[in-house]
Amino acid sequence: MSDLTLARRFPPEFVFGVATAAFQIEGAASEDGRKPSIWDAFSHMPGRVENGDTGDVACDHYHRMESDLDLIASLGVDAYRFSIAWPRVIPEGRGAINDKGLDFYERLLDGILARGLKPFATLYHWDLPLELQGRGGWTSRETAHAFAVYAEVVAKRLGDRLSSVATLNEPWCSSFLGHFTGEHAPGERNLSAFLASAHTLNLAHGLAVQAMRAVRPDTAYGIVLNAKSLHPASAGAADIAATGRFDAFHNGLFFEPLFNGRYPDGVSEALGSAMPAVTSEDLAVIRQPLDFLGINYYTPEHVAADPSLAYPAARAVPPPLGTPVTDMGWEIDAGGLSHLIRQLRSRYALPPIYITENGGAFRDACADGAVHDPERVAYLRDHLSAVADLVEGGSDVRGYFAWSLMDNFEWAWGYAKRFGLVHVDYASQERTIKDSGHWYRDLIGLRDRSGDAAA
């Protein structure tokens, strides 16, 4: 299919954007009153992050915000998804508000709006103020209440400029990777800590939506989830049943309370003693009506039964040999995205969906002011085509954000993995638009905007 045909498959009002997150790009870790987050602490611990990389400088976006916004505008996108750093706004998580932190986001929002872009803000993209970790972090219910206060502060000061706010980015990562496998900050490895943090995150989301709606009822509120797109590893009954359990454990823990007001039966039965106390009031708070759902999708997973493991007695197995993968080792399968959205829609009454992240890490080389990344172009083209299939099939998908605007701090992988449409030379901080960035701009330019006048 030609790019023109692909571009014309999207309705005129479809939103094309690029995405980033505060900790991954901002740097300026101790400037203007910012205090450390759990990722500052974690990345400074030996052995936690590849190559000992930290977010101290990152892409130095804090100092290059205006030129980075020019860069975004030059890509021809409609929208920019970014996150607000809690440790800039309320540096200790609770208590004193840091006006300089809010000033930065006010300037950022003004710059976004001045360039005719739509801001899509996320309140929490993993940078919990370290001070709160000392009080139990996400395993403590207090953190949910502190988050709601932070959300209210943001709504009061920045709400006039915000049209769309997501509370959390990928609470599965914050809870499972942060508290069960220990790959992410705070690096804990404990089942009850995982389950407690998942519940606190869910609760924090609900309380924050309530708090922000009370201040700014007209803003669109949502959450960003990285639902896993699952396939049984074989047609056997054991693998099919294992996939169901895996799904309840990883996806159900968030989708069920958010959209059905309950935790999945299987999880509560199997892990009841490890589950935190959950009240019916909590469940009512968590299930707020949402204006949108953000879905981040990168790769599918194949699930096999493994009776030697504790509940869910299942594990993700590698794809068949020879399956194309990215530099993360993640299988490339655009069909996994459409499968996921169709499955979610069939199970839950969902609000409009935005694909808030999608993209690939590849080994890019910058030479003579150019980066040739045909694999990323192919990745984006295939996934956008899957999104177009969904739109044409009647799924209410309203936008797509490429991850990421530019190469950045890829969590436990540090700067070793490059996801950007723009290459960053970390020594000079020079930005170079990759072929994929040019391709994305051209695709967006080929859209049929004739509906605009009518809209």
Binding site for ligand FCB (CB under 6 A): 21, 24, 169-170, 173, 226, 296, 357, 403, 410-411, 419
Catalytic residue among 152, 256, 357, 375: 357
Residue 197 CB, nearest approach to ligand FCB (Å): 16
Residue 236 CB, nearest approach to ligand FCB (Å): 30
Residue 7 CB, nearest approach to ligand FCB (Å): 25
Could you confirm whether 170 is annotated as catalytic?
yes
- On the CB side of 152, how many CA atoms lie within 13 Å of its CA? 16
Instruction: Pick the closer one to ligand FCB by CB: 43 or 296.
Output: 296
Phi-psi region of 380 (alpha: psi -120 to 50; beta: other; left: phi over 0): alpha
SS3 state of residue 357 = strand
Cβ neighbours, 10 Å, residue 181:
12
Instruction: Pick the closer one to ligand FCB by CB: 232 or 437.
Output: 437
Catalytic residue among 170, 188, 256, 410: 170
Could you confirm whether 357 is annotated as catalytic?
yes
Residue 279 CB, nearest approach to ligand FCB (Å): 30
- CB under 8 Å to 454, separation ≥6 — which residues? none
Give the whole-angstrom CA distance, residue 204 versus residue 151.
Answer: 10
| Contact between residue 220 and residue 288 where contact means Cβ atoms under 8 Å apart | no
| Cis peptide, bond prior to residue 289, ω within 30 of zero | no
Instruction: Pick the closer one to ligand FCB by CB: 98 or 167.
Output: 167
- CB under 8 Å to 73, separation ≥6 — which residues? 115, 116, 117
Instruction: Pick the closer one to ligand FCB by CB: 232 or 294.
Output: 294
Give the whole-angstrom CA distance, residue 230 versus residue 163.
Answer: 33
Instruction: Pick the closer one to ligand FCB by CB: 62 or 411.
Output: 411
Residue 184 CB, nearest approach to ligand FCB (Å): 10
Residues with active-site annotation:
170, 357
